[in-house]
Chains A and B, each alone.
Chain A
Amino acid sequence: MAYVSVKGGEKAITHAHQWLAEDRRGDPGVSELEVAQVREQLSLAVDRVMSEGSCYDRDLAALAIKQARGDLPEAIFLLRAYRTTLPRFGASLPVETEAMAVRRRVSAAFKDIPGGQVLGPTFDYTHRLLDFALAAEGGVAPEPAPQAEEPQAYPMPNIASVFRHEDLLEHDVRADEPAEPYDLTREPMKFPADRDQRLQALARGDEGFLLSLAYSSQRGWGSTHPLCGEIRLGEVAVEFVPDELGFAIEIGEITLTECTMLSGFAGSAERPPQYTRGYGLTFGHCERKAMSMAIVDRALRHREVGEQADAPVQDEEFVLYHSDNVEASGFVQHLKLPHYVDFQADLQLIRRLRKEHGERRAALKEAAE
């Protein structure tokens, strides 16, 4: 084998980028993917990229997915790196998810709840059989789903309303003058983390990582015995108060998935037994992520309810420091960068230690003879 230099000039990089562009395009005989097609037909990928990319823009997320060749963590990274250069005008008012125009809303805790169960567009109860009709070219537009006979409840009461008369569920804490929330895009992680910081970190966190943590909790590694109180999907208005106006104006509408997990609490000297909540919220339709987030959020509240904490999911530094896939992906993959200076230093030491080890062995042998 001949020596192959790891050193590459600007030319090598340019050529590699050209090759990458060629690979991204694939067979030029197949028509180019349009960003609008990604936006409309890979909408759950778009939703995940917007959620973990912390930027609500369907077109940019779709562009990122196209550019990243469908590699979602790469697309999330592209969107984050774009987002970070944007000027920041301020924080919106908290969105009212009770005023959501609901498309889907289910509760596993009750057979029926005020507002009713709304199944909506879901993979649940589909049989996971490949649909070869979709593989046929020039697919036919599906028949529109029939409309409900009765209009939906509006506002759609949330799960807390069911418990309102019995005090069975811990209360929402509503500040009169909400403080500006902690913003991880502008300040580093601090510990112990308050709930706003934790929820932001989880909302930006990697779906796979949170899913596995939630699963580990379910299997007994820090279990919170969760019950899906409610999951809802739909559109809410976003309001903002510009300084120069002094009153709220609606600046748009976004799709959200919200999940409330219920966990029983046996009570303590100060608090009566009641249900506690874990909370999950994502941009777009990300049910798996919202549910995982709610379970992890609740597991991380162990201090508040005096639970013993010895599982990974309950360790705040462990969970929050390792949930961001842009950080994790970069650092794991930075091992591709050359490390030969450090390796040389290490090699020298190992050779020296081996030499000394050999000398000691020889001396022992000599002494024994």
Chain B
Amino acid sequence: MSTPVPARANAPERYYNYAYLDEQTKRMIRRSILKALAIPGYQVPFGSREMPVPYGWGTGGIQLTAAIIGPDDVYKCIDQGADDTTNAVSIRRFFANVADVATTEDTGEATIIQTRHRIPEKPLKEGQVLIYQVPQPEPLRGLEARETETRAMHAYEEYGLQYVSLYENVSTYGRIAATAGYPVMVEERYLMSPSPIPKFDNPKMAKNEAVMLFGAGREKRIYAVPPFTRVRSLDFEDYPFETQTWEETCALCGAKDSYLDEVILDDAGDKMFVCSDSHHCAERRAAGHVGPMAGHSLDQDAALKEPAQ
């Protein structure tokens, strides 16, 4: 369900351009997006601007959204999979104000979904754009601090260092101990950071039907994965890529196959597991699915507590 946006002509944001950015900046970002789509997984440097939210808080994703959004769009914004996390609420409100768009929590209804750290559980489809907020676009940065070096590594497809690092992981821990931001190979050419999504979400990137855009504002890079593109999580023949699984199910909707958050209930060690994707969970509950702790106070939107004041 889309919520109509109340006119807020007096809000300070309205003293600025439509979608905040000036037209020249939008054109510059749009040109970068086209090149990013033409070279899947390659990081296009762009003239990232200061945004009215701090660097590290989604400025890359916000610039991408601002460059593509129009009044006919339906905009969804999630953080940690949830629509009601504070920063997601803040960014959603920003675009409702500056771009006159309808907003939604419904994954299926959104035309633009901006995300931090998750890919929604519901498969995406043609006509949808998934925009990732990326803190560090360079998958090799943890291994090599210098941009001059890593850029050359991508240019000449020298990814040996990455494999050596994964192999050292195997010899230390007996497995590849990367859990989020697990590096992927796009079309067997460019090594790419999937952003800090849990590796649980990595398989969703491959052959996805939606357009996927990645924005790193502070690091000033844009990259993209077009629909139906090969995206492979790095692994070894004897240590194949595997995703997270849980012994528990979602306490509220009973889901067995969604990414779960652990919620601490008290200081006696009691906890529950709930779907990280809040809309997925709500939709399942509306369809009659019931988890072992259905009816818990977390099971009502109204019961969402505000931070203690």
A112, CB-defined interface residue at 8 Å? no
Which residues does B use to contact A, with CB under 8 Å? 16-17, 20-22, 24-25, 28, 45-52, 54-57, 59, 79-82, 84-87, 89-90, 93, 116-118, 135, 145-148, 173-174, 177, 179-181, 196-200, 218, 220-221, 244, 259-267, 276, 298, 304-309
State the Cβ distance, A75 to closest chain B Cβ, in Å: 13
* A188 and B48 contact, CB distance less than 8 A: yes
User: Knowing A191-B147, A329-B54 touch, does A85 contact B86 (C-beta < 8 A)?
Assistant: no
Query: Hey, what's the 0/1 contact readout for A1-19 against B, CB within 8 Å counting as 1?
Result: 1111111111111011001
With a CB–CB cut-off of 8 A, which chain A residues contact B51? 81, 84
Q: How far is the CA of A5 from the CA of B82 in the complex (A)?
A: 13
* B79 and A345 contact, CB distance less than 8 A: no
State the Cβ distance, A306 to closest chain B Cβ, in Å: 20
Q: Which B residue's beta carbon lies closest to that of A332?
A: B56
* A342 and B56 contact, CB distance less than 8 A: no
* A345 and B85 contact, CB distance less than 8 A: no
* A85 and B17 contact, CB distance less than 8 A: yes
A339, CB-defined interface residue at 8 Å? yes
Q: How far is the CA of A33 from the CA of B80 in the complex (A)?
A: 41
**Chain-B contact segment, one of A227-235, A297-305, A346-354:** A346-354
Which residues does A use to contact B, with CB under 8 Å? 1-13, 15-16, 19, 77, 80-81, 83-88, 185-192, 317, 321, 326-327, 329-334, 337-342, 344-349, 353, 356
* B180 and A331 contact, CB distance less than 8 A: no
State the Cβ distance, B139 to closest chain A Cβ, in Å: 16
Q: How far is the CA of A202 from the CA of B272 in the complex (A)?
A: 50
With a CB–CB cut-off of 8 A, which chain A residues contact B81? 341
With a CB–CB cut-off of 8 A, which chain B residues contact A6? 85-86, 307
* B262 and A344 contact, CB distance less than 8 A: yes
State the Cβ distance, A176 to closest chain B Cβ, in Å: 28
* B180 and A81 contact, CB distance less than 8 A: no
User: Knowing A4-B308, A186-B47, A345-B199 touch, does A10 contact B89 (C-beta < 8 A)?
Assistant: yes
With a CB–CB cut-off of 8 A, which chain B residues contact A187? 45, 47
With a CB–CB cut-off of 8 A, which chain A residues contact B173? 353
Residue pairs across A and B with Cβ atoms less than 8 A apart, 6 shown, are: A1-B267, A8-B89, A81-B50, A81-B52, A188-B47, A345-B200
Most buried by B among A16, A190, A341, A345: A341
Q: Which A residue's beta carbon lies closest to that of B49?
A: A84
State the Cβ distance, A78 to closest chain B Cβ, in Å: 9
State the Cβ distance, B228 to closest chain A Cβ, in Å: 26
User: Knowing A11-B306, A85-B20 touch, does A346 contact B179 (C-beta < 8 A)?
Assistant: yes
* B135 and A340 contact, CB distance less than 8 A: no
New A-B contacts (17) at CB < 8 Å, excluding given A7-B85, A13-B89, A317-B145 = A3-B264, A5-B298, A8-B86, A12-B307, A81-B50, A81-B52, A85-B20, A88-B24, A188-B221, A317-B147, A317-B148, A330-B59, A332-B56, A337-B56, A341-B261, A345-B200, A347-B262
* A8 and B307 contact, CB distance less than 8 A: yes
With a CB–CB cut-off of 8 A, which chain B residues contact A185? 47, 49
User: Knowing A7-B304, A186-B47, A188-B48 touch, does A334 contact B135 (C-beta < 8 A)?
Assistant: yes
With a CB–CB cut-off of 8 A, which chain A residues contact B179? 342, 345-346, 348-349
Q: How far is the CA of A227 from the CA of B105 in the complex (A)?
A: 62
With a CB–CB cut-off of 8 A, which chain B residues contact A331? 55-56, 135, 218
* A338 and B89 contact, CB distance less than 8 A: no
* B80 and A340 contact, CB distance less than 8 A: yes
Q: Which B residue's beta carbon lies closest to that of A54?
A: B50
State the Cβ distance, A206 to closest chain B Cβ, in Å: 13
Q: How far is the CA of A332 from the CA of B55 in the complex (A)?
A: 9
With a CB–CB cut-off of 8 A, which chain A residues contact B305? 4-5, 7
With a CB–CB cut-off of 8 A, which chain B residues contact A334? 54-57, 135
* A342 and B220 contact, CB distance less than 8 A: no
With a CB–CB cut-off of 8 A, which chain A residues contact B21? 85
With a CB–CB cut-off of 8 A, which chain A residues contact B47? 185-188
State the Cβ distance, B7 to closest chain A Cβ, in Å: 16
With a CB–CB cut-off of 8 A, which chain B residues contact A330? 54-57, 59, 218
Cross-chain contact of B177 among A87, A342, A344, A353 (Cβ < 8 A) = A353
Q: How far is the CA of A332 from the CA of B56 in the complex (A)?
A: 8
With a CB–CB cut-off of 8 A, which chain B residues contact A84? 25, 49-51
* A348 and B244 contact, CB distance less than 8 A: yes
* A337 and B79 contact, CB distance less than 8 A: yes
Q: How far is the CA of A5 from the CA of B264 in the complex (A)?
A: 10
With a CB–CB cut-off of 8 A, which chain B residues contact A2? 266
User: Knowing A330-B55, A353-B173 touch, does A9 contact B304 (C-beta < 8 A)?
Assistant: yes
With a CB–CB cut-off of 8 A, which chain A residues contact B89? 8-10, 13
* A4 and B307 contact, CB distance less than 8 A: yes
With a CB–CB cut-off of 8 A, which chain A residues contact B86? 6-8, 12-13, 338
Q: How far is the CA of A327 from the CA of B173 in the complex (A)?
A: 35
State the Cβ distance, B273 to closest chain A Cβ, in Å: 9
Cross-chain contact of A344 among B17, B46, B261 (Cβ < 8 A) = B261
* B266 and A3 contact, CB distance less than 8 A: yes
The 8 A-B pairs of least Cβ separation, nearest first, read A334-B56, A330-B55, A330-B54, A188-B220, A345-B179, A331-B56, A80-B50, A342-B180
Q: Which A residue's beta carbon lies closest to that of B200?
A: A345
State the Cβ distance, A6 to closest chain B Cβ, in Å: 7
With a CB–CB cut-off of 8 A, which chain B residues contact A349? 177, 179
